[in-house]
Chains A and B, each alone.
Chain A
Amino acid sequence: MGGINAVQRTSTYLEKVEEKDPEINSFIEINPKAIKEAKQVDEGKRKGRLAGLVVGVKSNINVKGLRATCASKTLENYISPYDATVIERVKAEGGVIIGMTNMDEFACGSSGETSYFGETNNPAALGRIPGGSSSGSAAAVAAGFCDVALGSDTGGSIRNPSSHCGVVGLKPTYGLVPRYGLIDLAMSLDQIGPISRDVYTLALMLEVIAGYNPKEATTLKVSKKEYSKHLNSDISGYKIGVAKEFEKVTDPRIMKIIKKSLKVLESRGAEIKEIFLPNLEKGLPTYYLCVFVEFFSATRKFDGRRYGYRIEEVCGKEVLRRILLGKYISQKEYSGKYYKRALQFRSLIKEELLKALEGVDVIVGPTVPKLPHKLGTEIEDPLVMYGYDLLTVPANLAGIPAGVIKSGEVGGVPVGLQIQAKPLDEQKILNVMFALENS
């Protein structure tokens, strides 16, 4: 980013946010020190791979001195006393944090509508939901309010809004990026990842935040990789797996767009192979059972003693539903029936995906099986809402990486292509994305 004036860049973004974010509502809080931090970059006091890049941060990631509200009244006044590990890394590489982005409350949602601070609009298809739960991060990137944003993905929360907003996003392998400082939804599924407008910036942010954290029990002990340096749009010889099951569950208008992209990949030398994912649809109930139980556990600390409000007394409908269901199914008398069964199914789905990946480099398909609904549409049945996650949850259940890039549009609404790969094969995903970006 040499030669670019960070202060200028940051203030341009800030002006744009001030002018246009009232309509989008992608930020909950703006970093009052953003300009000061940018100045340090220009003065050479802060250097690194992200020097001068303007970064939005999802409101469930701790940034010292800013509020990590999780878009909930519960944490309305919670000011982070520390930096998440990813934030330490972003700061160390010269990234300028512009503010905390809007999201579904406690990351419980796939629409961007459940925030205590109001719903977020979709800059790429105004009047429609941006998707969620990293709604503000994807919308801010799509609206041009920052260069790159951090989101979190538990069952599609980076990929779903990236698809709806027409930007690029990546959920890394479970354990590749430290979770230290990420406020929990479901600990065994949560991963922090980047959202950007271009694949290079996405790769750059990923290499900055990825890597072992000795002070965290679930990060992987792998050496640092330079994804941006190794970006390669030559994907000839790549074996691309496509499952018949995708077509069965996806809106045909979306499938049509995805198939076009598959043709493009084929034309660039990739080989399309059919794979089988017979348990694909079992992913959703399995996922939600795990989420309910883990989320119930994670929210016990919001008991009203330390953070102002007891979560059950102030949270929205969806958060409350998950807490109560989690409390119900984790009862001693049911745990065998629900949670333990869910864990068994989870292993099954993981095995199936890993087996399917054995014969191919990546699996390519749609990200979301349906188009984003219009803001203001009342969706009373939670199962209809959960249906948005059908194609994204398997990657979380299996712990594999998955990226999203815009494939095309249906009547002006972006449709994202999802690329899944073996654990730690982020480079292949990025390369496929890079190939599509350059064609």
Chain B
Amino acid sequence: MRTDIGFEIHEQLNTATKLYCDCPTDYRNAKPNTNICEVCVGIPGAKPFPVNQVAIDSVIEIALMLNCEIVREPIYIQRKHYDYPDLPSGYQRTSLPIGKNGNLLGVGIWEVHLEEDPGKYDPTSGKVDYNRSGVPLVEIVTAPDLHTPEEARNFLKELTKVLSYTGKVRSEGGTMRMDTNISIEGGARVEIKNINSIKGAYRALKFEITRQKNLMKKGRAVKRETRAFLEAQMITKTMRVKEEAEDYRYIPDPDLPPLLISQEKIAKIREIMPEAPHLKLERFMKQYEIGRDDAWAITSEIEMADSFEEVCKSMPEIDPKYIASFFRHLIKKKLNYDNISFRESGLTSEDIKTIISKLNSKEITSSGAELAIRGVIEEKKPASVIINEKGLTRIEEEDVVVKAIEEAIKENPQAVSDYLGGKTEALNYIVGQVMKKTRGRADPAEVLKALKARLK
């Protein structure tokens, strides 16, 4: 059965001030109702300031990154009316499309809008925090071009990557909100609201497909309706059926003249905007002759991709394949393990160059390199300092290694006898012990060779 899935995605823009006033956009750390003014609280008589230009430019850039055409006619800011405690004026302002007809990974991007966030309502206390009210959002509406929850997840991951490449959305994470719509052949279109993460989207879709297919199996109709995703229970629940569909009574906001985007503005943004991640990936594979997996890992973050290119450029003597492998197996692995981004890690291209060059000249071993990376991230010091302080320089004196080998053999008779009995993997364990004794400064390949000779 054919399944079509589409999304409406909201992400907060990374601006210093709100969309229609000068209040700071920090609503996470500020005390409730401290970053507010007449405008964002909707005090009678207050009027919006002219639209935040940084926010407009951000949306244009995002739309361009998603291959959209930028609308050249006047773009009206609409008032979308609904009644909810978090909405200080009883309407939310949302622009008509700024970008249209784009695509990402073959998925159509129908529209890209500029919107404002409402305040935050706590139903338990009945209180509203308006610090978030007026924070700019980008809204991205996709075509129903996705067909499985897995496809949807991949698409959302790629979209997140594109947004983070622009640097125009908030980087702290957890600010993405989305609605999804799903129609299975033979049933009506169902919309699901309240999804706050990619994982949530995946789970909501999984649940919803099963629910709809079960209904169909029983010969019952899938109604056109809007459902809410309940994250904790991982289920969806009816919010309203089609007949009660809300009428937002859209009108162009009389307080705001329509936006007009010039050709020059578009050209200027196009010039400075980053290369899209999937294009970068293709280019890396071609230009540096590296594998897709390496390129994928490196382009997962624009800062890491940039660093990779910088290292390649300033170390022409080293094979980019080797550098790519270093990024993927030593850096990306550690980042994944710590669950941090390259940017958060504090690693610089300088650090990476230092480590690679010492590795290349065999001054340090690959284990030493791993320790150096860890040191830079954890102690926030340059790689050269870490290597010195920790004494990670490769041990040249053979007797130290020989001594460590002798000790390791003595201390691990079981492993030795296992190895001698035919269990070759037992040898790896002993190598590990030697590396430990030398604090990673011995060359594991050399150690292995020496051990094999010793235990013959």
Contact = CB atoms under 8 A, between A and B. Distances in A.
Contacts of A75: 44
B90 A301 contact: yes
A181 B45 contact: yes
A293 B44 contact: no
Interface stretch (A183-191, A223-231, A264-272): A183-191
A216 B83 contact: no
A301 B44 contact: yes
Contacts of B48: 217
A313 to B, nearest CB: 14
Interface string B213-245: 000000000000000000000000000000000
Interface centre among B43, B47, B81 (most CB of A within 10 A): B47
Interface centre among B38, B85, B248, B251 (most CB of A within 10 A): B251
Contacts of A303: 83, 90
B421 interface: no
A188 B255 CA distance: 7
B255 A218 contact: yes
Interface in A193-227: 214-218
B133 interface: no
A75 B51 CA distance: 29
A327 B248 CA distance: 10
Contacts of B38: 81-82
A116 interface: no
Given A183-B44, A300-B81, A217 B249 contact: no
Contacts of B249: 296-297, 327, 330-332, 335
A344 to B, nearest CB: 13
B79 interface: yes
A109 B428 CA distance: 92
B447 to A, nearest CB: 71
Nearest to B21: A215
B49 A82 contact: no
Contacts of B88: 301, 306
Interface centre among A183, A188, A296, A300 (most CB of B within 10 A): A300
Contact of A217 (B47, B91, B251): B47
Contact of B90 (A214, A215, A300): A300
A129 B11 CA distance: 55
Contacts of A332: 247-250
Interface string A65-104: 0001010000100101110100000000000000000000
Interface residues of A, number: 42
Contact of A180 (B45, B51, B254, B257): B45
A301 B247 contact: no
A339 interface: yes
B50 interface: yes
Contacts of B432: none
A82 B81 contact: no
A184 B89 CA distance: 12
Contacts of A339: 251
B61 to A, nearest CB: 22
A439 to B, nearest CB: 40
B42 interface: yes
Interface residues of B, number: 29
B255 A217 contact: yes
Given A75-B44, A301-B42, A301-B90, A330 B251 contact: yes
A188 B85 CA distance: 26
A305 B83 CA distance: 11
B47 A180 contact: yes
B359 interface: no
A418 interface: no
A62 B256 CA distance: 21
Given A82-B38, A183-B44, A305-B85, A216 B257 contact: no
B46 interface: yes
Interface string A157-183: 000000000000000000000011111
Nearest to B77: A217
A182 B45 contact: yes
B49 A187 contact: no
Interface centre among B38, B90, B254, B255 (most CB of A within 10 A): B254
B45 A331 contact: no
A294 interface: yes
Interface string B26-51: 00000000000010001111111111
Interface in A13-48: none
Interface in A269-302: 293-294, 296-297, 299-301
Nearest to A181: B45
Nearest to B83: A303
A66 to B, nearest CB: 13
B45 A187 contact: no
A136 B335 CA distance: 70
A184 B255 CA distance: 10
Given A293-B251, A303-B90, A339-B251, A217 B45 contact: no
A101 B83 CA distance: 32
A73 to B, nearest CB: 14
A363 interface: no
A217 B43 contact: no
A186 B254 contact: yes
B257 A217 contact: yes
Interface centre among A68, A75, A181 (most CB of B within 10 A): A181
A307 B44 CA distance: 10
Interface centre among A81, A301, A332 (most CB of B within 10 A): A301
B143 to A, nearest CB: 23
A217 to B, nearest CB: 4
A70 B250 CA distance: 26
B29 to A, nearest CB: 25
A183 B45 contact: yes
Nearest to B89: A301
Contacts of A362: none
Given A305-B85, A332-B247, A300 B44 contact: no
A84 B44 contact: no
Given A217-B256, A300-B89, A301-B88, A84 B251 contact: no
Interchain residue pairs A-B with the least CB separation, the first 7: A300-B90, A187-B254, A188-B254, A330-B249, A217-B50, A181-B45, A301-B89
